[in-house]
Structure formats: structure tokens, C-alpha cells
Chain A
Amino acid sequence: EEQLVESGGGLVQPGGSLRLSCAASGFTFSTYWMHWVRQAPGKGLVWVSRIKSDGSSISYADSVKGRFTISRDNAKNTLYVQMNSLRAEDTAVYYCAAEKYYYDSSGYLVSAFDIWGQGTMVTVSS
């Protein structure tokens, strides 16, 4: 069974740091682009960051650029995000998601998040 399991969430004070992990199993982790997506309480889904299958390309949302660092260890089948200088507005459930690529009927490469973790809650509060 394809599975992603996040861990590392918790309560942290403003300005603090936290590292989230996402352990993958049941699929070839090293071939997938991986993402972090977050969801504030009662709100919608917001994309946070992306890392290429081999770690050679990384992107961030403007809201976390310079504060969050995404990384991966393909030998351990694990995705990470180091979150520094945390703010109240970073409070959310953090999901990791695997982006699968498909060829559409015209032969173009398209993608979607087809595997999601269960999420881990991060609360930033004093």
C-alpha cells in the first residue's frame, strides 16, 4: 500500500523552530517530486514547497521563503521540512504529498498529487 506518514508537529512559540518528517512506503519514493501543503484551521489548502525527485530543484511559497527549508533523503525514503522563525500564521495541519506525472491523450506530461499523508498539526502560540 502506498503510504506517507508525517511526524514532528506540535506546539511551538513564535520565533521558534520545528522539523517535520514524512516517511514514504509502498512506492518508489526516489522517483517522485514531493510537496508540502498546509491547511490552517477551518481554511483551504495552501501549497508550501516542492522538491524534485533527486533534490536538485526546490521551490517555496513566498510566505515561507527564507524561513522554511525542504529536503529529502532517498536512502531513507523520507521528506523533511525545517521551519524556522515560526509565526502565528504558520499554524496549520501540514501534509506531505507525492506528485505523480502522467501522459495525457495528447502526449503531454501532466501531474497531480496522488498520494497524501494524514497530516501533522503545527501550532505556533505563546
Chain B
Amino acid sequence: DIQMTQSPSSLSASVGDRVTITCRTSQSISSYLNWYQQKPGKAPKLLIYVASSLESGVPSRFSGSGSGTDFTLTISSLQPEDFATYYCQQSYSIPRTFGQGTKVEIK
């Protein structure tokens, strides 16, 4: 199974800050990496697919980069509605695996 390691596990930031979350995989997965946002009591929502493609309707302040084993999700200017938990997920192989999540909290 492909192991996914996100960092940090949590962070505190202010509105307007630039936020970066990293995801490292235990083996190369090319660009088969997706990012999701989850708010409390809600289902996850797809933000970024194939490492850097923005899902339709997702604000352009979200961006993704990386390939191989190292990936990054960046929020260029944090907005109040962005406080949530973010997960990376690989679609390279079965079992599909997720990172442990990064909780973005208000500073």
C-alpha cells in the first residue's frame, strides 16, 4: 500500500495569510494526487485533481503542485471559509489511500 504523509498535522493562520500544506508518498505516483477540503460534519469536497488541476468552481487562490513523491497544496490568501481540514489522496493504485489530514485553524 502507498503511505501518505501530510505535514503539518495542524496549523494556525490568519485571514490573508499564504498557507502551504505538503504531502509525501511512500513511492512515486507520478501526478496521481488529489486534494480535498472537509468542513466539520460535511463530506469532503474535491479541490485539486492530478496534482495541479483546479476542480470546476474552486476559487483560484487554491493551487497544487508536485509530482513523483512530493506534492504541495497552497492557499494564496486564506479566507474565513477556508478554515477546514485538508486531505491528499493518491489515485495511482488500489487501495486508494489518504493523508492523515491537515487542520487549518484560525490564529
**Residues of A that sit less than 8 Å from B by CB:** 35, 44-47, 50, 59, 61-62, 95, 99, 102, 104, 108, 110-114, 116-119
For B55, the chain A residues whose CB sits under 8 A away are: 112, 114
- Report chain A residues within 8 Å CB of B22: none
Given contacts A95-B43, A104-B53, A111-B49, 16 further A-B contacts (CB under 8 A): A35-B96, A44-B101, A45-B44, A45-B89, A45-B98, A59-B94, A59-B95, A102-B53, A108-B30, A110-B31, A110-B91, A111-B91, A112-B46, A112-B91, A113-B44, A113-B46
- In the bound complex, CA of A62 to CA of B1 (Å): 10
The answer for the CA separation of A47 and B55 in the assembled complex, in Å, is 21
Chain B interface category by residue count: 20 to 34
Q: Which of A99, A110, A119 contacts B32 (CB 8 A)?
A: A110
Contact of B95 among A61, A112, A113, A117 (CB under 8 A): A61
Q: Is B45 an interface residue (CB 8 A)?
A: yes
CA–CA, A93 and B32, complex, Å? 26
Chain A residues with Cβ below 8 Å from B97 are: 47
A44 engages B89 (CB within 8 Å): no
Determine if B71 is an interface residue (Cβ-Cβ < 8 Å): no
Residue of B nearest to A103 (CB): B50
Closest Cβ of chain B to A115, distance in Å, is 9
| Known pairs A95-B43, A102-B49, A112-B91; A44 contacts B31 (CB<8 A) | no
Q: Which of B32, B36, B94 contacts A113 (CB 8 A)?
A: B36
**B34 at the binding interface (Cβ < 8 Å):** yes
Cα A50 to Cα B45 in complex, Å, equals 19
Cβ contact within 8 Å between A47 and B50: no
* Beta-carbon contact of B96 and A116 below 8 Å: no
B64-107 vs A, Cβ < 8 Å mask (1 yes, 0 no): 00000000000000000000000101010011111111000000
